[in-house]
Amino acid sequence: GQNIDQPTEMTATEGAIVQINCTYQTSGFNGLFWYQQHAGEAPTFLSYNVLDGLEEKGRFSSFLSRSKGYRYLLLKELQMKDSASYLCAVRDGDYKLSFGAGTTVTVRA
Amino acid sequence: ETGVTQTPRHLVMGMTNKKSLKCEQHLGHNAMYWYKQSAKKPLELMFVYNFKEQTENNSVPSRFSPECPNSSHLFLHLHTLQPEDSALYLCASSQDREGLETQYFGPGTRLLVL
């Protein structure tokens, strides 16, 4: 199987920045995905990286540098509504998508 | 607004019951997936269908039986389940199995086996 590791929990205050790292060991690589999942709801797609670089979508950014081993999701200007679980997923050489257990982010006032 | 719907949203069943979960996607996708999500564990891929053909079965016990009558509908038939099968069952779809498109998830069915 594939190993996808990410921190279990992170806590931050409103307006702060949170960086969620993701490490993986897969057979081949065809992209890294980030999903957001609020409690009791479906995961929703946030971003996708397959080439090294930064993908920015509003307050959320995802960065990939395979050569330097950096893979993270950056949440800026945190808001209360950003409290959720953030799932890292990696597509391997066979295009199979494997998920990490998720990072629960709690935003406090 | 997700284009993937699932029914029922909640289900309580005994170990001797037979029930079915239904998933429907309105996105014109060709690939559909069943996942199991247990607390604090990664999403576990159960089954994959691509153009109505099953392409993956990740060692899922036979008490779970999938059915894909067409590209828009996916079922998961349940029988003689165990309490450890209690979890959130998520359906997802994507344009196709090997494309670069992401997967879109339904809201899930919260299953409790007594």
Task: Check if the beta carbon of residue A72 is closer than 8 Å to that of residue A21.
Answer: yes
CA distance B38 to B85: 9
Nearest to A101 among B2, B40, B106 (CB): B40
CA distance B73 to A25: 33
For A98, the token pair is 């494997």
Residue A44 in contact with partner chain B when CB distance is under 8 A: yes
Ramachandran angles phi, psi of A83, nearest 5°: -65, 115
CA distance B9 to chain A (A): 10
Write the CA distances from B46 to A8, A49, B36, B64, integer angstroms. Answer: 23, 25, 7, 9
Residue A70 in contact with partner chain B when CB distance is under 8 A: no
Nearest to A48 among B90, B102, B106 (CB): B102
Closest Cα in chain B to A9: B40
Q: Could you tell me whether strands B18-25 and B4-7 are parallel, antiparallel, or unpaired per DSSP bridges?
A: antiparallel
Mean pLDDT score across all residues of chain B: 91
Interface of B with A (CB under 8 A): 2, 4, 40-43, 45, 56, 90, 97-98, 100, 102-108
Closest Cα in chain B to A8: B40
Contact B42 A8 (CB under 8 A): no
pLDDT tens-place string over residues B38-95: 988 899 999 999 888 888 888 899 999 999 999 999 999 999 999 999 999 999 999 8
Ranges A44-48, A90-94, A102-106, B100-104: which has the least confidence = B100-104
pLDDT tens-place string over residues A43-95: 999 999 989 999 998 999 999 998 887 899 999 999 999 999 999 999 888 88
Task: Check if the beta carbon of residue A108 is closer than 8 Å to that of residue A25.
Answer: no
Q: 3-class SS at B83?
A: helix
